[in-house]
Amino acid sequence: MSVRRKLFLAMAFLILAMGVFFTLVTQFVIKASLEHMDLADRRKEIEQLSNRFIDYYQKNDDSWEGVQQLRIGSEAENLHRDVQFLLLSPDQKLLYESEDTDYTIVKRLGIPDEVKIDGETIATLYYLDSEVANISKLQIGISSSVTFLLLTSAIVFVAVSLLVAYWLSKRLTAPLQEIVPVIDRLGQGELGVQAPVRTKDEYGTIANGFNHMSKQLQRAEEVRRNLVADVAHELRTPLTIIRGKLDLLQQSGRSVNPESLLPLQDELIRLTRLVDDLHQLSLAEANRLPLERKPTDLLILLRRILDRIASDAEEAGVKIALVSRVDAAVVFVDPNRMTQVFLNLLVNALRYTPAGGSVTVTVEEEPEENQGNDFLRVVIADTGIGIAPDQLPFLFDRFYRTDEARTRNSGGTGLGLAIAKELVVAHNGTIEVESQPGQGTTFIIRLPDGKKASSSGTSSSV
């Protein structure tokens, strides 16, 4: 059963229940009010008649036999001239009726009164005159009219309410009806499909969330396909070189010169590095990468890294500098993993900074607006060629290269930044990039302050 039908049935049941309840309660109140109307007081006349019948009953040895022979006149009894009355036994048998009495009318419109002796009911007297008849007719007419109006109003109310309930259920579930086919299309493999967003309520939130999820799935599928293609490409090139070299050596029929094996060794090294990088990245993404955390002075670590690349920077004509804006820069990290991160970023900075440029590494505390986070920042800024804004969102993706023309020899495997990001995240940190073409690139790494780090152990896994 659809949500629309369930909603309509629930509202219809509530409307019908409220309609019936309102009708019954109103009918009960009106009837009770009419029954207590005392517009014609005939207690004196009824009491006179009751006494006459009781007197006859007692004189006749507690029997109604022959009571019909009793003559009661309106003048003698000070009764209304148009009075009519009936006397019925406890089992509703006729015992006595006045002259010119209409049995049905008197019983329906007359005032009933029980005739009792010592608390025992011996008969029921029905009294009717013109005034009592008019009042009784008025009471019955009001009751009938109210009942008719209540039923008519209830039917109209229920009908209109059901139409409104149907319209509301259709309107409220319309956004859901639009989303369901889109969900089916996504389930059939149409990744990236978008649902219409027509409202700003919960349905709009669901639609926006679904659209975001669909885009993420499409992006993940594209990444998966690109990953397979890139891995195949990265593996095919060295394997082709190794195969060609081996075929050439085999066909030459000469003894193998050690120098001729150096190209094969280079390609095997590249293959090993690619497989190691992929393995390391997969471990980091699966939260299974082992980390040997310990208090580490960032300034000492960065000086060692800069010393390692000082000769390359001098050869490229690029100035490198370390700037410290903190008294102490101790973080609780794996120094080997963080060395890998900073070395990758600095090598990239040297590669894309022309001669005469500079690379500056700055260690500082978070700005005042973020003081509550207790993070240290390492900012690596170069004056290189920069990166186009449309490429920044994909910079940390696997095998992504900003320059499509780069070769494997000059550009590496394209996994360095992806690994760097996962390693920083594994240390509960963040990494961001800012860049403008022709103005250089800035990487900002945030790491938790070592003074706030836990000292429970030095070995952990992501």
| pLDDT confidence of residue 341 | 92
The parent domain of residue 171 ranges over: 1-42+130-182
> What CATH number is given to the structural domain containing 426?
3.30.565.10
The answer on 429 and 367 residing in a single domain is yes
Which is nearest to 57 in space by CA: 117, 98, 114?
A: 117
The answer on 400 and 259 residing in a single domain is no
Burial status of residue 87 (CB atoms within 10 A of its CB: 0-12, 13-18, 19 or more): buried
| pLDDT confidence of residue 4 | 66
The answer on 176 and 147 residing in a single domain is yes
The answer on 176 and 145 residing in a single domain is yes
The answer on 400 and 314 residing in a single domain is yes
| pLDDT confidence of residue 224 | 74
The answer on 261 and 367 residing in a single domain is no
| pLDDT confidence of residue 461 | 47
Asked if residue 251 belongs to a domain, the reply is: yes
Q: How far apart are CA 138 and CA 217, in angstroms?
A: 77
The answer on 87 and 33 residing in a single domain is no
Asked if residue 262 belongs to a domain, the reply is: yes
The answer on 229 and 117 residing in a single domain is no
**Pick from 285, 313, 340: which residue ends a domain?**
285
- Say if residues 338 and 301 touch (Cβ distance below 8 Å): yes
The answer on 248 and 176 residing in a single domain is no
| pLDDT confidence of residue 102 | 82
In three-state secondary structure terms, 443 is strand
Which is nearest to 204 in space by CA: 171, 182, 179, 169?
A: 179
| pLDDT confidence of residue 1 | 60
The answer on 338 and 452 residing in a single domain is yes
Asked if residue 361 belongs to a domain, the reply is: yes
> What CATH number is given to the structural domain containing 247?
1.10.287.130
Upper half-sphere CA count for residue 163 (Cβ side, 13 Å):
5
Scan for tokens 């978008």, then name that residue. 194
| Positions in the chain whose pLDDT score sits under 70 | 1-4, 27, 30-41, 73-81, 227, 230, 233-234, 256, 260, 368-373, 401-413, 451-462
DSSP-derived secondary structure for 347-371: HHHHHTS-TT-EEEEEEEEPPGGGG
The answer on 255 and 336 residing in a single domain is no
Query: What does DSSP assign to residue 326?
Result: S
Q: How far apart are CA 122 and CA 89, in angstroms?
A: 7
**Residue 142, CA distances (Å) to 31, 147, 149, 335 in order:** 9, 8, 10, 96
Burial status of residue 400 (CB atoms within 10 A of its CB: 0-12, 13-18, 19 or more): middle
Which pair of tokens denotes residue 238? 């060295």
Asked if residue 226 belongs to a domain, the reply is: yes
CB-based contacts of 347, cutoff 8 Å, min separation 6: 309, 312
Give the chain's domain count.
4
Query: What does DSSP assign to residue 68?
Result: G
Asked if residue 311 belongs to a domain, the reply is: yes
| pLDDT confidence of residue 355 | 92
In three-state secondary structure terms, 99 is coil
Scan for tokens 């509202």, then name that residue. 11
**Pick from 112, 128, 144: which residue ends a domain?**
128
Asked if residue 96 belongs to a domain, the reply is: yes
| pLDDT confidence of residue 59 | 86
Asked if residue 61 belongs to a domain, the reply is: no
The answer on 337 and 439 residing in a single domain is yes
| pLDDT confidence of residue 456 | 38
**Pick from 95, 113, 128: which residue ends a domain?**
128
Asked if residue 54 belongs to a domain, the reply is: no
